[in-house]
Amino acid sequence: MDIDGKLESYRENKFPNFYHTEYSVISKQSTSYNCFAWAAGEDNRWWSPIDPDNMYYWVEGFIANFVKESEAISDYTSKISNLELQIDNYKKDIQDLTSENQELQKIAKP
C-alpha cells in the first residue's frame, strides 16, 4: 500500500475502474482474510466464490442470487439502451421532418 492509501500502480492497473473512484486502502494485505471477509466483518478466514476446490468459505446460494440480480440489471440496462435508441431515432425523424418541411416551405414561397 502506498502512503496515500491507494494501491501500488501495478495492482491498480489490474482494476482500472478503481482509479476513477475515491477508494482507500485502510489495512495492510493479509493472508488471513481478504476484502470479501472484511466486508462481512470477519478477519479470520478467506472468502472466495470462485475457488474450484472449495477450500475457502462462501455463503451458499449467494452466487446464484448475485447472478440472478446481475441478469435483472443487465435486462434493465438493455431496456434503457433500447429506449434511448428509440428516442434517438424519434429525434432524427423529427429533424428529418423539420428539414423536409423547411424545404417544402422554400419551394411553396413565391
State the pTM of this model. Answer: 0.39
Report how far residue 79's alpha carbon sits from residue 68's, in angstroms, rounded to the nearest whole number: 17
* Radius of gyration (C-alpha) of the chain in whole angstroms: 26
Confidence of residue 110 (pLDDT cuts 50, 70, 90): low
Q: Which segments of 1-61 does DSSP mark as H helices, in order?
A: 9-12, 35-39
Torsion of CA 52, 54, 59, 60, to 10 degrees: 80
Handedness of CA 39, 32, 17, 79 (dihedral sign): negative
Q: How do residues 21-74 score in pLDDT, each as one tens digit?
A: 888 887 778 888 888 888 888 889 888 876 656 678 877 766 656 666 666 676
